[in-house]
Each structure stands twice: as structure tokens, then as C-alpha cells.
Amino acid sequence: MVRRRALLAVVVLSVTLLSVVLGLTIWLRLPRYKAPEYEKMTPRVSGVTLSNRSVPLYGRLEITASVEAAVANPFDPADIEVNAVFTSPSGRTLQVPAFYFQGFTRKLVDDKEALEPSGAPTWIVRFTPMELGEYAVRLTVNDGGLEASSDIYGFEVAQSTNRGFLQLDKDDFRYLKFDNGEPAFLIGHNVCWYGSHGTYDYDAWFTKMAENGESLTRIWMAPWAFAIEWKKLGFYDQEEAWKLDYVIGLAEKLRIYAILCLINHGQFSTSVNPNWDENPYNARNSGPLSRPDEFWTNLDASRLFKNRLRYVVARWGYSPSILAWEFWNEAELTDNYNSVVAADWHREMGRYLRQIDPYGHLVSTSFANPSYDDAVWKLDAIDFTQIHSYGERDMVKEFPNMVKSRLGSFKKPVLLAEFASDWRWADSPDYLKDPDGVEVHDGIWATALSGSASTAMLWWWDNYVDPYGLYYHFKALSSFLQGISLPGLRPLNASWQAAHGDLRVLGLQNSTMALVWVKNGEHNWPNVVNNATIGEVADARLRIEGLAPGMYRVEWWNTYSGSVEKVEERLNEGALELSVERLSRDLALRVFLSSSMRGT
């Protein structure tokens, strides 16, 4: 029995081995499947065209090129990276990213802007030279490790009257200056997005602003206007990008400088002006984030946002009309805001911007609460602080104190970048009861003469400043400051009193000049909108200390018309004394030394 079982086992094993051998033989003789081999396309750069071979200093050079490569996403530098490598006259090498571009033409259709594609997509480099002399440039492309470059092209940079980019004034940390050394004090208000007319709205707004001495605004890359990464994550909306091209180009022509805000809080909020449900970063929209607050720490989100920063710098970094990159509008209104995490994020993104921006644009961010956020403001990556203030009633008192506090805390320029006496846009907001723009008037004068780097920037542009025709307030202040350099001036050293009324005085001075704003404190926004009885200031006396002895020219300015109403010569033998008989609203003084008493 045992032998029979053993014999059977041997037979079974033999049959099994034979089957395996036969099967293996047949398998080896069968035609073998071979995965198809895809041969990568060697990239090529061709058709390189320079817009000009002679470029003015701080002018714009545009290079177009055709790039032949097999890519899935032209906006992802991991897929394809195109750069221009410039050699400056001094031998400095600058790498400027190129960007994928589709042109458009615009027209109004049924009173709304409509865009139509114009030409084929192409690659563009925009460059602003900052040195005089001969430059050389070549284009490079990296397509997944395969590289190619163009021929080398030359162009000359000639002298110009262009002022260059705005930068920090190293001699007076409160202010900004241009590359050519010209001091900058900026006057303006918010014009953050367009209405139904699209870019045609900016034709009207910017023209009126420029005609009235304005030089500053803010623009948001918001979901409803100018956001390039809202429809599809990692891909950039060419229509919205073209609109921003147009607006920045118009700003350049009119010498208007824009703070470009890259993210509004609602994009990552579920409670305050929420846009999270539509956000392409949302996992429900195939994005990488399950919650809005993950944006601050998620590695995929960081990579995607850095890609967007690279595109933003490539497309608009060339422009001196970009005053600054503003990371966030009111960052703490996002879900579960954490100061430590936000500071880390701002530090990382600020450093990255420094690396990729060859022009060194200023960098900032913003918060809704004026007391936020010291941890962010202290960062070296943040160049200036911003204040948003709503609901202030006595701007003449509050705004100078805000500016003074910020300057003392951070030793950086301060911009009061949003303000309004009433934050509501509906339900009969009180600012509409102020048709003469007292809040505009008081806000810009109170900041201009308190050490701010710009005027306070009113928020309500399309439903208040423009329809009420309030641009003349900016014109008056601009006229008053014409020819004046504010850096180096110190707070006014003065005393004052009045026989009757609430007299306020604010100003700046040095030893030979003073700028003074004299204000009736009762003529304020609450009294105006409530139709209160406003008493006059009577028999006021003003005494200015710290001026060198001598004869002074005193100009008395109407702050609403922007005109000089009276000029007088006054002798200063220790303190300059001035008097105001009656004051219903306010006035301004420009005081200049006309002849010195030294040596007498």
C-alpha cells in the first residue's frame, strides 16, 4: 500500500514538472509584449523677436519667441521652464522667467466688456533694464530635463527721464523713493476691481485720478476680477491676465502706482465674504485642501502658489507701476487664523519672492484689525505695514496716532491702505450723506501731514468717489504738496489756542520750512452727516518753534479748491506767530524761509 502511494506521488510529480517545462517552453516561444517607447521631443527656441534694439533706462523691452516642446501644462515650471538670461553692462547676470501668453482684443457688447482671442499663443519675456549700456540676452528652455537655448541677442539701453522702481528711502524710513533718487509721496484711493465695463472702467477712473494728482491705488486679484488661478488649479486664466496687462499698462502711462493684492481673505474663508466653496484649492473641486486653513501649511498648496508667484513676477514684475506685492487682504479673516503659522508662511513666500523678482519690488500684506499682526510686521520679508480702519469718526485725531504708533513700533513705512467712516455698502450707508466728501478730505490731509508714506486710501470708489465727483480733494492736496519733499521733515513743533471753538493743528517742518494744517474740530464727519450745528473757531493763535530766524513767506491755502488765497511776509525772531480770525472748516499753510538773519 505504501509502495503504491509512493509510486503515485512520483507519477504526479513527474507530470507536474513536465507540464511546467512544456508551459515555460511555449511561453518563451510566444511573441513578447513590449511597452511602446515614447521618444521625448528635443525642445527648440525659434522666432526670437526683440521689441526694440534701443531701450530707454527703466523702459520696457518685450521679447517674443516660439518654443517647440511636448508639454501638458505650460504654466508649470516642472513641466517646462523658459527663461531669459540677461548680461548687463556691468557683467551682472539676471535670469527673468518667460510666460505663456494669449493676446486678446476688447470691445463693449450690450454695455459689457467682451474679449476675443488675438493671434496664436506664444512665449513672452518682459524686461526693464536698470543699467545704461550694452546688454546681451539668450533664451533657455528646460523640458523635463531636456534643454535648449537660443542665439545671443544684443540691445542698447539709453538715458531717459524714467524714475524707475519705488524702493525704501534709506535716509528716512518713513518714506519711499524712486530708483533715480526722487522722493515719493503717493496720493490715492482704492480701485480694486472693475464693474460690468471691465477694463473700460479703468479708462475712466484712472484718467480722472491722474487729472487730479492721484498716483496710488490698490488692485485685487479677486475671484470676480483679475484672479488668474480660479477656474482651474495650476492653469492661468489668460483673459483675466490680459485685463490686468491692460490696467497696469494704463497705470504706467498715467504714472499711477498699484499695490497688487494676490489673495483676498474670502478665498480661504467659510464665514467672512466666503469664496471657499468655489475655490479650486478645495478638495471638493479636486484641489489638495480639505479645509481652508490647510493652505498655510500644505506642501502641494505651497508649490502651486509659488508657481503662481513665478508667473505673476514674469508677467507684471517688469512694471515700475507695481508699487508692491501684497500677499493677503485681511489675512486674519481666513478660517482658523494662526499668527505663528502665518508668520512662517509670510517669511517663506517673502524669501521666495526676493529670489525670483529681479527688480526687488516691495512686499507687504494686510489685516482687518489695525492691531494685527506684530509677528508678521516684524519680518524682514515685509517692507512696510498697512492699516485698515473702518468706523473712525474723528480721523484728524485717530489717524495721526495710528501712524505714529506704527512708525515707533516697526521703523517701517506706514500706509493707511483702506478706510471709511461707514463700512456698509448697502442699507443706506452714512457715507452717502456726505456728498462733499468730508471723510475723504479729512482722511488724506490727516495722513499726509503725519508721516505716512501716502495718503489714507478711501475704500468706496465706484459708488462714492466717482459718482459724487470727489476727485477734487486729491487735486487740492496734490497742488499743496507740489514741489515739496517730505523725507527729512519732522513733526510740527507748535502751540496754539483759540478764544472760541475746537482748534486742531497738524504739520511737518524742518528748520527753514513748515507745512501746517489748521482744522476746525467741529467740522467733522459725524457732525456733517447728522446735520449738526457746527460752530466756528474764532481768534486763533498759532506759534511755530524751531524755525531759523529770518523773514518767511507764508502761503494761506484753500484746502478744497487747492488755491492760494493769501500770501504774506512774516518775521521770525524766535518763534513764528500767526493768527486766524475765523475758521469754519480748515486751511493749510506753506511757510518758507525767504531771507536769513544769519550774520546780522
Residue 23's pLDDT band, with cuts at 50, 70 and 90, is very low
pLDDT in tens, 160-218: 999 999 999 999 999 999 999 999 999 999 999 999 999 999 999 999 999 999 999 99
Phi, psi of 271 (to 5 degrees): -135, -30
Instruction: Give the separation between CA 46 and CA 525, rounded to whole angstroms.
Output: 62
| pTM of the complete model | 0.91
Residue 295 scores a pLDDT above 70: yes
Residue 13 scores a pLDDT above 50: no
Q: Locate cell 496754539: which residue?
A: 496
Q: Locate cell 499682526: which residue?
A: 373
- Strand pairing category for 99-109 and 112-127: antiparallel
pLDDT in tens, 245-280: 999 999 999 999 999 999 999 999 999 999 999 999
- What average pLDDT does range 12-16 have in this prediction? 43
Phi, psi of 250 (to 5 degrees): -65, -40
Distances (CA, A) of 542 to 270, 395, 409, 486, 594: 53, 21, 31, 22, 20
- What secondary structure letter does DSSP report for 461? I
Give the DSSP letter string of 234-286: T---HHHHHHHHHHHHHHHHHT-EEEEEEEEGGGG-SSSS--GGG-TTBGGGT
Residue 3 scores a pLDDT above 50: no
589: nearest Cα among 541, 567, 556: 556
Walk across the sheet containing 576-583 and list its strands: 494-500, 537-544, 576-583
Which pLDDT score is estimated for 597?
A: 60
Residue 145 scores a pLDDT above 70: yes
How much is the CA Rg of the chain, to the nearest whole Å? Answer: 32
Instruction: Give the separation between CA 418 and CA 178, rounded to whole angstroms.
Output: 24
537: nearest Cα among 518, 512, 517, 511: 518
